[in-house]
Structure formats: structure tokens, C-alpha cells
């Protein structure tokens, strides 16, 4: 069976959630499908990255480079025509012609499109090709939440973008025969009367790669990691460093925080101090997980499943997070992880785990078993394949 896959970013290196989901889905699907991959990229794609993905793409691999002048023109066009800026950023006329050529020449039996920002390339094929759209998470809700915390001058723009995204998510639903999303809380945010038809396709975790390192030296008490230019992660890092950790240090004065991840935003870089290390990109994120006693993900904005929590739990780190993040994860407070909402509650949960290593170890062991049982890439991808026919 021939499968054409459309991605808004090249799925390697695995430094963003959509890239990670795409990479592992491609790896699983390639066993049974002849895949032709079309991926956009707004940055150069290295030979190493291509080499990591090419084995999955027996039907071909096409990368279309988005460049700054064209992106600006496309976003201006989207603004003028009522489309979301998110869609305008990734929609390019030359890329559309490449997609059309692939549909004509590759003749796919099914088309799999990741994220609504790529749906525009397939609008003309609605009803003509069997197609599946992976919403993954709900961009409109993420932008709307961000608007509530943004500086006053940004709020009108973000509110407009959230409204346009909400309408676009609903409109794009009707162009596709099948739809997937990462969690039921996200599914309930899609403004379409048939949203319950959207299939839940979880992420997995590579437990052969992310596994416990019980003998690793602990060089920090608390870790947070992720793409540190992504607003929800920036907000969480600042919340953790500025409001939560000072309360933790009232009980553990020497507690150090490590913030690890690619392209730290200026707000994140400004957090650096003797008590807070900002590492930037790390060659092997497992080393950061192994160096910490507790993993904290105090997410206040954003949607979808937090891969960072899956990775930390797979490495048997005791985890603390917020209800917003746990709604998608589905863990049980006090059994697989600790869940708290306010800075004081989160600080208490972290400080308790630092003070009670035996309790922290038991929590981590249960969390490890939880992700091993529930979050596997083969299991998740079976649900996706069922939609392809």
C-alpha cells in the first residue's frame, strides 16, 4: 500500500514534539507501507538528518525549503484572506505544485497529513483521495491560552489568530475522511459537531532508548527540559525558576535547577544563576534526565501530551506536573506522579520528593511501569493503521 505523508517540519533531529511523533510513526508504518514523505523545512536539513529518515521512505523523500521572504509574503496573504497566520507561514505555492506532482506521480492509496498547518495543501483533494488528518493537539486552544498571559499589545493579534484557528480546525475536518488527535481533552476542544469521530492516537515512548540509569551521578535536584523557544515551555521554565524553586529552597537551600533544551529564549537565558543552569542543546537528553532527582513540568499553557513526561517516567524519575499536562497523560496523582496547580502546591510536591527518597523511588517505579504498559509506539500506530484501510 502506498502512503503519502505530509509534514510541516523534517522529522529529525527529535527536538520538537511533532517531529518526534512523526519520526516514530514513520518508523512503525514503514514496515508495512511504501511511504513517500513530503516535508517542509524553514532551516537547512543536514545529511545526517536525511540519513536517519530515508530508510523509512521507499517511495521517495522530498524536502521543500521555506525561506524568509516567501514566508513573510505568505503570512501577509493569509492575514488578508482570513486564514490563520499559522497556516500562512507553512503554505507556499511552489510547495503546492510539488505536492500535486507527488499525488499525480506516486499515486498514493492514502494520504496522511500531520497538523492543520499542512491541511491547505490537500483542500483540493477533499472527496477525491482517502486522507487522514492528525490534529495532534489543538492549536486554537493553545493560542487562546497564550493570549490570556501575553503582554497587552500582543493580545488582540493572538485572540484573532485563536478565532481563525478555531474556525479553520472545524473547516478542515470536512476535507478528510479520518482524523486523529493525541488525547480526549484535546478532542473535546475541536469545534465540530462530529468531533467524537476523531480517533485517539497516543504517542509512545522508546523504552529501549529511555531507560533507567540508577547509578548515574545526581548533579541537580530538579530538571525541566524541552524546546526552550516554545512559549508553553518558556512560561513553565520561568514559573519554575522564579516562583516554585524559591519555595523549594526554603526546605532545601542547596536545591539546583537544570533547564535543558534547544534554542533557549531570552527570558529563559535570563534565568541563569548559581542556582539555575541553562544548558541549551544537549547531545543526549538522557544525560540530563539521569542527572536529576526530580523532574518538574509545571505547564500552564499549551495543549497535547507532554513527551518530556513520558521520557522522564521511562527513565524512572519521580515527576511533578500540573492538571493541564496530566489531563492528556492520564496518570493518577500520588500513584504514578504528583499533580499540583499552584506554585506553593508544586513546591511542596517537589520538596516532599526530595526529602523522602524512598517514597520518590516508589513513585518513579510506578510511573515507569505506567508508561511501559500504556505508551508504546507499536500499540499507538496500530490504531492509526486501522484508519488507512
> Per-residue pLDDT tens for 213-268?
999 999 999 999 999 999 999 999 999 999 999 999 999 999 999 999 999 999 99
Flag whether pLDDT at 149 surpasses 90. Answer: no
Domain annotation covers residue 332: yes
Q: What is the pLDDT of residue 389?
A: 80
CA distance 50 to 61: 9
215 in any annotated domain: no
Q: Is residue 206 part of a domain?
A: no
CATH, residue 275: 3.40.50.2000
- Print the domain residue range for 43: 2-201
With respect to residue 207, please indicate whether it lies within any of the assigned structural domains.
no
Per this entry, what is the length of the chain? 389
For residues 210 and 314, the answer to whether their CB atoms sit within 8 Å is yes
Average pLDDT value for the chain? 96
**What is the 8-class DSSP label of residue 137?**
S
Grid coordinates representing 2? Answer: 502506498
Judgement on whether residues 181 and 133 belong to the same structural domain of the protein: yes
> What does residue 208 show for φ and ψ, rounded to 5 degrees?
-75, -25
pLDDT in the model for residue 35? 98
Distance CA 180, CA 189 (A): 13
23 has a pLDDT exceeding 80: yes
Mean pLDDT, rounded, for 359-387: 96
**HSE-CB for 107 with a 13 A CA cutoff:** 1
Q: Cell 497516543 identifies what position?
A: 202
- Which tens digits make up the pLDDT trace of 308-344? 999 999 999 999 999 999 999 999 999 999 999 999 9
Model pTM score: 0.90
CA distances from 165 to 4, 53, 169 (A): 25, 30, 6
d(CA 78, CA 175) in angstroms, rounded, equals: 19
Strands (E), the chain: 2-7, 34-41, 60-65, 110-114, 131-136, 178-181, 199-200, 220-225, 257-260, 276-280, 292-297, 319-321, 338-339
Residue 75 pLDDT:
95
Grid cell in block for residue 223: 530538571
CA–CA dist 122, 235 (Å, integer): 34
Domain check: are 99 and 50 in the same one? yes
State what percent of residues in the chain have pLDDT above 90: 95
Those residues with Cβ within 8 angstroms of residue 69's Cβ, 6 or more apart along the chain or in another chain: none
Amino acid at each position: 500500500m502506498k502512503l503519502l505523508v505530509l509534514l510541516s517540519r523534517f522529522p529529525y533531529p527529535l527536538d520538537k514534539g511533532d517531529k518526534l511523533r512523526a519520526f516514530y510513526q514513520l518508523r512503525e508504518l514503514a514496515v508495512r507501507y511504501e511511504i513517500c514523505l513530503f516535508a517542509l523545512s524553514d532551516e537547512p536539513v543536514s545529511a545526517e538528518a536525511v540519513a536517519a529518515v530515508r530508510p523509512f521512505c521507499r517511495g521517495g523523500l522530498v524536502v521543500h525549503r521555506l525561506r524568509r521572504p516567501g514566508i513573510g509574503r505568505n503570512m501577509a496573504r493569509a492575514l488578508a484572506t482570513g486564514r490563520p497566520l499559522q497556516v500562512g507561514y507553512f503554505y507556499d505555492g511552489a510547495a503546492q505544485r510539488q505536492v500535486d506532482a507527488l499525488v499525480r506521480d506516486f499515486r498514493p492509496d492514502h494520504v496522511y497529513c500531520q497538523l492543520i498547518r499542512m491541511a491547505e495543501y490537500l483542500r483540493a483533494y477533499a472527496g477525491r483521495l482517502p486522507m487522514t488528518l492528525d490534529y495532534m493537539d489543538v492549536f486554537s486552544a493553545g493560542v487562546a491560552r497564550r493570549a490570556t498571559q501575553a503582554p497587552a499589545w500582543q493580545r488582540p493579534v493572538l485572540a484573532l489568530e485563536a478565532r481563525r484557528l478555531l474556525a479553520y480546525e472545524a473547516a478542515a475536518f470536512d476535507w478528510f475522511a479520518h482524523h486523529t488527535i493525541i488525547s480526549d481533552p484535546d478532542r473535546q476542544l475541536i469545534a465540530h459537531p462530529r468531533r467524537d469521530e476523531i480517533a485517539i492516537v497516543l504517542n509512545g515512548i522508546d523504552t529501549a532508548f529511555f531507560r533507567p540509569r540508577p547509578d548515574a551521578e545526581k548533579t541537580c535536584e530538579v530538571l525541566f527540559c524541552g524546546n526552550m523557544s516554545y512559549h508553553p515551555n518558556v512560561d513553565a521554565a520561568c514559573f519554575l525558576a522564579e516562583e516554585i524553586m524559591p519555595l523549594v529552597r526554603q526546605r532545601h537551600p542547596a536545591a539546583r535547577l537544570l533547564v535543558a533544551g534547544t534554542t533557549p529564549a531570552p527570558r529563559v537565558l535570563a534565568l541563569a544563576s548559581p542556582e539555575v543552569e541553562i544548558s541549551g542543546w544537549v547531545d543526549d537528553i538522557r544525560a540530563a534526565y539521569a542527572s536529576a532527582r526530580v523532574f518538574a513540568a509545571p505547564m500552564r499553557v499549551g495543549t497535547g501530551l507532554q513527551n518530556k513526561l513520558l521520557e522522564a517516567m521511562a527513565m524512572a524519575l519521580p515527576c511533578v506536573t500540573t492538571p493541564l499536562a496530566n489531563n492528556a497523560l492520564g496518570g493518577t496523582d500520588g500513584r504514578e506522579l504528583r499533580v499540583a496547580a499552584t506554585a506553593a502546591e508544586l513546591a511542596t510536591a517537589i520538596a516532599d520528593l526530595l526529602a523522602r527518597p524512598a517514597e520518590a523511588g516508589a513513585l518513579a517505579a510506578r510511573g515507569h511501569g505506567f508508561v511501559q504498559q500504556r505508551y508504546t509506539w507499536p500499540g499507538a500506530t496500530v490504531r492509526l493503521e486501522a484508519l488507512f484501510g
